[in-house]
Amino acid sequence: MRLLVSGLTGQLGSGLVEAVPRELAELVPLVRPLASRDCAARLRAAFPASPELAARVVEGDVTRPHWGLDAATIRQLAIDVDGVLNLAGETNWAAGRRELDATNVRGAVHGYALTQALEAASGARKLYCHVSSIHAAGATTGRVPETPFGADERRTPYELSKWLGEVALLGRAERADAPGLCIARVGGLLGSSVTGVTRRRDSLYMLADRVDSLPLGLLPISRSGRVDMLPRDVAARLLIDALLALHAEPPQAPEIIHVCAGESAPTTDAVLRALVSLDEGHRVGRLRVLRVPTRGIVAASEQLPRYQRLTRTWHNALIGLRYLMLERTFERSRLAALVAGALPRVTIEQLIRLAFELPAPQVLPAQDELSLARFAR
C-alpha cells in the first residue's frame, strides 16, 4: 500500500516512520514549502535514517484546494498512490477559530476532494483516511461508540473544529461518487515506546512540565477521569494495520475507528498514585491533589479564557487538565475487527515513565552474584 501523507513530521507521523515496515506501507510525504528551508531538507533533518522520504517529497499545503497540487502532479500521484492519509492538524488547543478551521476543517475537506480527483484521474478506487481526535467528543462522558458525534455546546474551539471536520466529511461521503472514507479518532500520544523521544509535549506532558509551578502545589482532579494515551509508534502501527484491512476490502460506507487506549486507559487517580511510588527522585513529591467536580473543570476550560487573558501555555494546560478529568471510555470494537488481533495496552508505569521522563528501574544482580562481587577485579 502506498499513501500520500500530510503532517508526517508530527507526533503520529514520526510514529509511522518508526514503526511501519516499508514492505507494508510506502509513505509519500506532502510537506508545506517554507521560504527558509526546502521540503526535502526538512525531511532529511527530521528522519535522517529514512532518506527515501526526502526523495519522494511532494510540495503542498492542506489549507488550499486539492492541497495546492496542480493537475500534472495529481495525474502522476493517481498512478503512484493507493490512498491519502491526512495527519495534518492544528493541535494548539488555544489557537483561534481561523487557524483551527483552516487546517482541521478546510484541510480535511480539501484532502477528500483531492482523493476524488485521484480517483477520477486513475479510474481506480482510492481510500481517504482523515485523522481526527477522540476530543471531538467534547465533554461527552460514559461509553463513547465509534459512531458520528452529535452537537455539544460544551466543546472548546479546538474540539469544535475537529467535530466540524468530521461532519463535513461525512456529509460529502453520502454522494454516490465519493471515495472510501475512514475517520480515525486518535487519542493522546506519548513519545516512542522504544526510545522515549517525543515531538510534542501536550496532554499529560503538560502536567509533568508544570508540577513545580502549580499554585500551592495543588492539582485539581476528579476521581474517575481517565488518561487515554498510547505511545506514538503503537498508535501508528494500529492505524496502518486498520488501513491495510480497508485497502484489501474497500469500505462501502464511512468507517469510524478509535485509535486509542480505550477500555485499558487508567484512571487519573491511579496514575497519580502510581507516580508517587515510581518517582524515586521525589521530583513531584510536593504535589497535592484537590478533589473537584468534573463539571467545574469543564466549565473553567470553556469560560475562563473568555474573561481572563491567559498565556498560550496556561490556556493549553487548562484544556489539558480537562482531558484528565472526563470519565469516559472510547470503544474500539471496529478497530479490533479490522486489525484482527488483541489490542495493545499501555501500562501505568510505561505511561508515567514516558510522560514524566523517569529513568527505568535498575536491575540488581542476583544475590549469589552480589556475594562474589567483592572478588571481581
User: Which of 8-12, 29-33, 291-295 shows the lowest per-residue confidence on average (mean pLDDT)?
Assistant: 291-295
Higher per-residue pLDDT: 364 or 60: 60
Q: Residue 272 above 60 pLDDT?
A: yes
Higher per-residue pLDDT: 106 or 353: 106
* Phi (first) and psi of residue 268, to 5 degrees: -60, -40
- Position 376 scores a pLDDT of 45
* Proportion of the chain above pLDDT 70, given as a percent: 92
- Position 152 scores a pLDDT of 92
The answer to whether residues 142 and 286 touch, using CB atoms and an 8 Å cutoff, is no
Rounded to two decimals, the pTM is 0.91
Span 188-224, pLDDT tens digits: 999 999 998 888 787 777 777 777 777 766 777 777 8
| Mean pLDDT across the chain | 88
Q: Residue 280 above 50 pLDDT?
A: yes
CA atoms of 303 and 236, how far apart (whole Å): 34
- Position 299 scores a pLDDT of 82
C-beta atoms surrounding 158 within 10 Å = 23
CA atoms of 179 and 254, how far apart (whole Å): 9
Which of 254-263, 322-331, 362-371 has maximum average pLDDT? 254-263
| pLDDT confidence tier of residue 100, bands split at 50, 70 and 90 | very high
Query: In sequence order, what are the beta bridge partners of 329?
Result: 143
Over residues 165-175, mean pLDDT: 97
The helices-and-strands tally (H runs, E runs) of the chain is 15, 13
Q: What amino acid occupies position 221? A: I
Q: Residue 225 above 70 pLDDT?
A: yes
User: Cβ neighbours of residue 97 under 8 Å, at least 6 residues apart?
Assistant: 157, 161
Over residues 271-280, mean pLDDT: 82
Q: Residue 373 above 80 pLDDT?
A: no
Secondary-structure percent of the chain, ordered helix, strand, coil, rounded to 5: 45, 15, 40
Dihedral angle sign, alpha carbons of residues 189, 192, 198, 199: negative
Q: Residue 278 above 90 pLDDT?
A: no
CA atoms of 303 and 315, how far apart (whole Å): 11
Q: What amino acid occupies position 126? A: K
Q: Residue 59 above 90 pLDDT?
A: yes
* Proportion of the chain above pLDDT 90, given as a percent: 62
| pLDDT confidence tier of residue 77, bands split at 50, 70 and 90 | very high
266-294 burial, b for 16+ CB within 10 Å, e for fewer?
bbbbebbebbeebbeeeebeebeeeebeb
Of 352, 227, 224, 222, residue with least CA distance to 290 = 222
Q: Residue 36 above 80 pLDDT?
A: no
The answer to whether residues 168 and 104 touch, using CB atoms and an 8 Å cutoff, is no
- Position 55 scores a pLDDT of 94
Span 302-337, pLDDT tens digits: 777 777 777 877 778 778 888 888 999 999 999 999
Over residues 232-240, mean pLDDT: 96
Q: What amino acid occupies position 230? A: L
CA atoms of 166 and 158, how far apart (whole Å): 13
Instruction: Reduce the secondary structure of 18-41 to three states and give it as a string.
Output: HHCCCCCCEEEEEECCCCCCCHHH
Span 133-159, pLDDT tens digits: 999 999 999 999 999 999 999 899 999
User: Cβ neighbours of residue 226 under 8 Å, at least 6 residues apart?
Assistant: 265, 266, 267, 268, 326, 327, 328, 329
Task: Tell me the HSE value of 78 on the side-chain side, using a 13 A CA sphere.
Answer: 20
User: Cβ neighbours of residue 116 under 8 Å, at least 6 residues apart?
Assistant: 177, 178, 179
Ordered domains of the chain (ranges, CATH) = 2-194+229-263+328-344 (3.40.50.720)
Query: In sequence order, what are the beta bridge partners of 220?
Result: 290
| pLDDT confidence tier of residue 342, bands split at 50, 70 and 90 | confident
Query: In sequence order, what are the beta bridge partners of 84?
Result: 4, 128
User: Cβ neighbours of residue 325 under 8 Å, at least 6 residues apart?
Assistant: 221, 222, 225, 268, 294, 297, 298
Q: Residue 356 above 60 pLDDT?
A: yes
The answer to whether residues 209 and 314 touch, using CB atoms and an 8 Å cutoff, is no
